[in-house]
Structure 1
Amino acid sequence: MKRNHALLIILGVLLIDQFTKIYVKTHFFYGREGAYEVFSWFKIFFIENEGAAWGTKISDILPISDKAGKLILTLFRLVAIGGIGYWLKGIIEKQAPRILIISVALIFAGAFGNIIDSLFYGLIFDDSSRDHVASLFAEDPYGSLFYGRVVDMLYFPMIDTTWPDWVPFKGGEPLRFFEPVFNIADMAISFGVGLLLVFNKKAFASLESSKQEEEED
């Protein structure tokens, strides 16, 4: 698989990811009240993620401020994407199996998409709220470089009801599946990882054989 093919995958994911994020950010109110129902099991539900996966913040784990935790997370993402990019370059040069290159390209593109939010969105958007739709290239942006929030909008509440009253501890509380809200970049990462898990042997077969040949030499 040629380098240009991997670049097309990365550019395609980035364009779709950033288009959907900018559109949602500039057309939707923040939170559940502004959700748009596509189907009963699929909604466009605009929220923003200041932390890592599932909204986790480093400041929830370490005794540091939210601002310091956000900076550490953004810097970590930059280092991680540099490592993934280096890996992708290496496997392309080694002519690794197509499935491996596609998978790593998807993971790289997804990580890059979320990095763009973290780095620049605080500089170009004003704040979103339940009664205010954000503006692009706003005069009064909500943050600064490295302190942007990741935009999420894809919500699949396949089950959206309440626990029966007779269920201990949970009776009467909301019951939702699937609860997480995510974006195109997250989907690219998940799909890339999924391909590696399903086609693990095929993806790494030629790399393992090359390593064995080097050891024999």
Structure 2
Amino acid sequence: MKYRHVVLIVILILIVDQTLKFWIKTHMFMQQEFIIFPNWFRIHFIENEGMAYGLKFGGDFGKILLTTFRLVAVVAGFVYIKKLIREKYSTGLLVCVSLILAGAAGNLIDSMFYGLIFNDSIGYEVAKFMPPGGGYGSFLHGRVVDMLYFPIYEGYLPSWIPFKGGDYFVFFRPVFNVADAAISIGVITILLFQKRFIGKHMAPQQGSTIKADQTA
């Protein structure tokens, strides 16, 4: 796998992620919802200040810190993936790292620029792109747009379940976006197949070391 293939994966995911976010932002008001498949898949527009799946981190200073960390991580990610390619790691690992890199870049774009290019979504008002009065925030203070919602199960838990019995429960509750999904798929796949991804790469190196020792 070559570096241009990594760049292509990242660009394709960014196009899908940003196109969907742009459409959501300019066509839906906050908390508006479209039911795609009843009972398990909805488009539900929300925004979050922080990390993936609506998690938050440390107020205004935390927002700047998180966005800066994302920027550094994306730059470092491109450098790191070049190293993986030079050392001929498996295509599967490179694809997974590309997914993680693309997801981080997708949410980074929101955090860096959306506060500048969109006005706020208040009540039933739909945001405008490049409004005359300026955006709702400054550089690095944009909010991440989320819209994918999969409430596969909604209902009250059986009373016999410890601690949570009788409570109203939703699975899967978090609302997320394409970038979040790319990161999750990349991370989970690496965790599941790390021996295959890393082991096949390390075995030839160990074999070469043994042969070199025998020759010496």
TM-score, normalised on structure 1? Answer: 0.87
1:49-100 deviations in Å (ceiling 9; x for gaps): 10123433332xxxxxx22111111111112222222211111122211101
1:22-55 deviations in Å (ceiling 9; x for gaps): 0011111111xx1000012100001111012343
SS of structure 1 residue aligned to 2:64: helix
* CA–CA distance in structure 1, aligned partners of residues 168 and 8 of structure 2: 42
**Deviation of residue 208 (structure 1)?**
2.2
* CA–CA distance in structure 1, aligned partners of residues 120 and 78 of structure 2: 32
* CA–CA distance in structure 2, aligned partners of residues 4 and 82 of structure 1: 16
Structure 2 letter corresponding to 1:13: I
| Mapping for residues 162-173 of structure 1, pairs under 5 Å | 162-163=156-157
**Cα distance change, pair 168–214 in 1 and its aligned pair in 2 (3 A):** closer
Of 116, 134, 140, which residue of structure 2 is paired with 1:123? 116
Percentage of pairs with the same residue? 46
| 1:192 maps to 2:190 | no
| 1:39 maps to 2:37 | yes
Higher CA-based Rg = 2
**Deviation of residue 206 (structure 1)?**
4.3
What is the aligned residue count?
A: 209
2:15 is aligned to 15
1:58 is aligned to 57
| Mapping for residues 1-217 of structure 1, pairs under 5 Å | 1-31=1-31, 34-40=32-38, 41-59=40-58, 66-139=59-132, 140-163=134-157, 174-209=168-203, 212=206, 213=208
* CA–CA distance in structure 2, aligned partners of residues 214 and 84 of structure 1: 29
Q: Which runs of 4+ in 1 moved over 4 A?
A: 163-173, 213-217
**Cα distance change, pair 83–44 in 1 and its aligned pair in 2 (3 A):** same
* CA–CA distance in structure 2, aligned partners of residues 199 and 165 of structure 1: 38
SS of structure 2 residue aligned to 1:48: strand
In structure 2, stretches of 5+ residues that fail to align are none
